[in-house]
Chain A
Amino acid sequence: MRLILEKRSEHSEFMTLMSPLLAIFLTVVTGAIIFALQGLNPLEALYVYFIEPVTSMWSIEEVLVKAAPLILIGAGLSICYMANVWNIGAEGQLTMGAAFGSIVPIFFTSWQSPLTLVAMLVCGAIGGAAFAAIPAFLKNRFNANEILTSLMLVYIAQLILDWLVRGPWRDPKGYNFPQSIPFEGWQLLPTLGDGRVHIGIILAIVAVIILSILMSRTLKGFEIMVIGNSPRAGRFSGFSRKKTVWFCLLLSGGLAGLAGIGEVAGPSGQLQPSISPGYGFTAIIVAFLGRLNPIGVFFAGIMLAITYIGGEGAQVVLGVSDKTAQVFQGILLFFILACDTLILYRIKLLGPVTPQQAAAE
């Protein structure tokens, strides 16, 4: 008896939806095994990770705060990946968006008007897009692999931010801590209700709706799908691959930059050397878990945000390393990619056969 993969004649809608659910299930099972090996009660540990974050108002708000940047970035990345443009450097674009957007409160300290916030958000998006323009240019001009260039630019962005907050932009009244002046008033995102939730989550939802319409209803979205699926057919269709590379990188970079300034003007309230617990990288998982579909990205963003909060909870309650959350995220991506095989293939169990069959095909 053995298993073989048999190609389907077309992709399976059912498996497209089932694959992420199956992947989540397998991740949970694997997580339970890991916890059991560590001598923890697996059920309790899983409860802390995946259920507890949604049991109290406080932690639900925390989930939304963390989900906002993940959804913003993930939605942009999903469109990039649809076009077969592999922007891995959203973390760097987020960082540069945060730095660019902060120019407004740092240099125009006393400007207080709703327009201040608008200017910050616009600058943030421009900063992220401009930083993503570098891999776009390098790819179109020199055919440089955007996976490498965008990833390497992450470290450059982080070092630039580090230099800014330790050097020219350091708060003179900040007791020498490496941070900018604290933002206030219209330099901060308004909050919703009384809690910590700020309008970043609204921005994320708006982005999801717009991108979802873009991909399903417009010629531009069609163009992106064609170029991603088959560049030769894209050229035959009159679409330009280079323009698509520009569009996707600027869009995803801009959204990452928006998420970056959202972090600074939201939860942290000032520039710090580190402003993100790896949202730009986690958003890659969000994009895949969300089936590269903006609506799916929304739910995937919530899911991954839960693992962040669950990870913090587990650190306190179970005393496990906060890196466990990252392990979960990694395992999840692994299982999604594996389960995605089933979209185009079906598993078949064969009866006993001669070993020669292995040589077939």
Chain B
Amino acid sequence: MTEKLSVKGGTAARAEYLLEARNITKMFGDLAANSDVTLKISPGEIHALLGENGAGKSTLVKIIYGALQPTVGELRWLGETVNIANPAAARKLGIGMVFQHFSLFEALSVAENIALALPGDIDLGELSKKISQVSSEYGLPLEPTALVADLSVGERQRIEIVRCLLQEPRLLIMDEPTAVLTPQEADQLFLTLERLASEGCAVLYISHRLDEVKRLCHDSTILRHGKVVGTVNPQKETAASLARLMVGADVHAINSNRVSSPGASLLKLNNLSQKADGPFGVALRNIELDVRAGEVVAIAGVAGNGQSELFDAISGERLSSTAESICINERNCGLDNITLRRRHSSGFVPEERLGHGAVPGFTLSENIILTRHSDDDGLSSSGFLDRAKAIAINERITQDYDVRKGKPDPEARALSGGNLQKFVVGRELDRKPRVLVINQPTWGVDAGAAALIRQALIDLALSGSAVLVISQDLDEIFEIADRIAVISRGQLSEAFPASELSLESIGLMMAGAHEKKDSHITEKASA
């Protein structure tokens, strides 16, 4: 990787654009992830790159950042054709990138993490000073000596941003930066980005949150199926018109005219507490929740605040210390394993589709057996499997939930994210569980599949089941939930009716307003 950045040409006069990606095509096998994409960014501009999951946003950005090479097309930097061989070359040009998934070492301090990314020998003391200076200048408060493990996701993102800023970028690429932030943290981020833009730094802002883009960005390029479908000024568009461009059709509206008269309590958490699993796990503290027949209750929260721990506790992948702490269908289940809980008419859909909800190398029919081997529908009798039955159930589910697949019974890993999610959701809904717990139901799923899944969840509740949704997507939560609780640092707020909550009030709770005083501090000390 010693290939240096090469600058050819050099005859261009003063360039109008900072970066031009011209007629970029990128093929992966037969699939065109980008086809004839052109994107132009001027200095000081905040430019949105919009598109659904799988529209080709990441591919384009990776090409700009040098992590991928285009099959066809060229990049121009200040009007001159450049060859960005690798991310190091991109950084040398002045392109910085903040990824959606941070690459930080939790056991190291802020300054140490930043030092790791910088070339050459570094004096930590001097670097710490520089970090403090840059972070206060741009309104990104950071303590250089703090351990990353102790920081919130928003703070971790600041490290990544400061790491970029230290290299004085002229183009900053932000990949879905607000996906993990509270509304307040997002506001703070927007101020920083506006400040950067006013100093002449261009920002390429990748998102599918239209209201953010409308508010922040000066220009936008919209991708669909790898092609540019429009270059528009988002401030002159409505959210609906942008969504139409992104999705290609009007987004299917969720039908949620509900008769809200919840019935008996079907899922009850009574003072559920659990120690943290490992140094970076989250402890659950005195969680109380009651989900009744016929309602959808959503748990909002920023990623990493105990959602997966709560899911594991309810599903029985991790057992509680007392039977009473979890009550499903009027049975105290805290000490039952997941199979017993399933048999007690409950269904679970975890956040991670591949490797948790489904085995990647198994066919769909085998993945049916994965969660339904102990049901009463005869998939296994006295230890022997009935694979023909699994194939029949798979046919039914893939038909009912519109799972698109290349052959009758493909491996799970061959499906796209949206189709696999429809499968793992459908697999549980098909059992008609009285209690359904689902973590991030539409994470990384295209709009069409997301609408189908949300509708199916509402329909399940309407049929008299209790549905608990854990999600980070507030739009989704407001769309489907009857009541909303917020989890932060392993503590769950009271569940309020959705109509009584606003984005702002939820944001405050996500930032920990409902936490019992001093509790998280003692937690840290004991962890």
Chain A positions near chain B (C-beta within 8 angstroms): 6, 9-11, 217-220, 222, 225-226, 229-230, 232-233, 235-238, 354-361
Contacts and interface: CB of A to CB of B under 8 A. Distances in A.
Contact of A237 (B86, B361, B371): B371
Contact of B371 (A220, A225, A229, A236): A236
A9 B352 CA distance: 19
B339 A238 contact: yes
Contact of A232 (B86, B337, B355): B355
A359 B66 contact: yes
A87 B357 CA distance: 28
B189 interface: no
Given A9-B414, A222-B366, A360-B67, A355 B3 contact: yes
A359 B67 CA distance: 7
B83 interface: yes
Contacts of A355: 3, 85
A216 to B, nearest CB: 9
Contact of B357 (A9, A219, A233): A233
Interface string B500-514: 000000000000000
A356 B88 CA distance: 12
Question: Size class of B's contact patch?
Answer: 35 or more
A225 B385 CA distance: 14
Interface string B258-294: 0000000000000000000000000000000000000
B68 interface: yes
Task: Give the one of A220, A226, A236, A354 with max B CB within 10 A.
Answer: A236
B201 to A, nearest CB: 26
Contacts of A229: 359-362
B373 interface: yes
Interface string B380-419: 1001110000000000000000000000001101100000
Contacts of B342: 238
Interface of B: 1, 3, 29, 66-69, 83, 85-86, 315-317, 337-339, 342, 348, 350, 352, 355-362, 366, 369-371, 373-374, 380, 383-385, 410-411, 413-414
Contacts of B370: 226, 233, 236-237
Nearest to B355: A230
Contacts of A6: 29
Given A219-B380, A222-B373, A222-B385, 16 more contacts: A9-B413, A10-B361, A10-B411, A11-B361, A11-B411, A218-B385, A219-B384, A230-B355, A233-B356, A235-B338, A236-B356, A236-B357, A237-B370, A356-B69, A360-B67, A361-B67
User: Which among A219, A220, A229, A359 has the greatest number of chain B C-beta atoms within 10 A?
Assistant: A359
B363 to A, nearest CB: 9
Contacts of A237: 338, 370-371, 373
A6 B30 CA distance: 12
Contacts of B69: 354, 356-357, 359-360
26 contacts: A6-B29, A9-B414, A10-B414, A218-B384, A218-B385, A219-B384, A220-B383, A226-B359, A229-B361, A229-B362, A230-B356, A230-B359, A230-B360, A233-B357, A235-B338, A236-B317, A236-B371, A237-B373, A238-B337, A354-B83, A355-B85, A356-B85, A359-B3, A359-B69, A360-B69, A361-B68
A130 to B, nearest CB: 25
Contacts of B361: 10-11, 229
Nearest to B371: A237
A227 to B, nearest CB: 10
A10 to B, nearest CB: 4
Return the 9 tightest CB-CB contacts between A and B, nearest first: A238-B339, A356-B85, A10-B411, A359-B86, A9-B414, A10-B414, A238-B338, A219-B380, A230-B359
A16 to B, nearest CB: 11
Nearest to B374: A238
Contacts of B29: 6
Nearest to B349: A236
Contact of A236 (B67, B350, B383, B414): B350
Most chain B CB neighbours (cut-off 10 Å) among A226, A230, A361: A230
B500 to A, nearest CB: 35
Contacts of A361: 67-68
A155 B69 CA distance: 53
Nearest to B318: A235
